[in-house]
Structure 1
Amino acid sequence: MADVVWTPRAYADLEAIGDYHALTSPGYAEALVRRLLRATDRLGTFPESGRVVPEIGDDSMREVIHRNYRIVYMMLSDEERVEVLTVFHASRQFGSASGDADP
């Protein structure tokens, strides 16, 4: 069983998503963040359950889709670890460094 580790960047993404939705619905924001975290629970047992990120095409870079959010992770088989790298709204372009867009 692999360890699922969220990177600081992924946690920052979650926080931004929560903050954005909390402006209109704090309850929804809290529930959404909780569901996004839970969406990666199965990756420890089934790290290949996510699809390969189409923009990258590398088998070790995968994603889980939860509602309108893409949770991108990397499988590190030699370390038996899965690292969650980023979480972003599916309407945003992958790899966008702009912090100006809505999460």
Structure 2
Amino acid sequence: MNVVYSAEAVDDLVRLREFIAVHNPQAAHRISNELVSRIEQLCAFPEMGKQIPQFPTPSIRDFIFGNYIVRYAIHSDAITILKIWHHYENRIK
């Protein structure tokens, strides 16, 4: 199983990194690397995120890492990262 990032998730990673880099470039690099590393762990443990009650399928889940939420979908051969946001953002749709 491998991880696939949606275009929105890639944009989210770039946006988050750029926002953090304005104040602390080293932290931006560290946090984005840690986030990607933790996301890769979903390959081994795809069900470690919590199910989302408002979605009818249990394959859509949220994985929380620190202050960040990663929404993803489990497929038979891949994990698709749908979006990534900081918990203070109102980005749930």
Change (3 A) 1:24 1:49: same
Which residue of 84, 88, 97 corresponds with 2:85?
Answer: 88
Matches within 5 A, 1:1-103: 2-56=1-55, 58-77=57-76, 80-93=77-90, 94-95=92-93
The one-letter code matched in structure 2 to 1:30 is: H
What is the alpha-carbon distance in structure 1 between the residues aligned to residue 31 and residue 21 of structure 2? 10
Q: Is the 8 A contact 1:73 1:85 kept in 2?
A: yes
- Which SS does the other structure have where 1:59 is aligned? coil
Percent of counterpart pairs with the same letter? 26
- List 4+ stretches of structure 1 deviating above 6 A: none
Q: Structure 1-normalised TM-score?
A: 0.81
Shift of 1:74: 0.3
- TM-superposed CA distance for 1:54, in Å, is 4.1
CA distance in structure 2 between the aligned counterparts of 1:25 and 1:54, rounded to whole angstroms: 36
User: 1:99 maps to which residue?
Assistant: none
CA RMSD of superposed structures (Å): 1.3
How many aligned residue pairs are there? 92
Shift of 1:6: 1.2
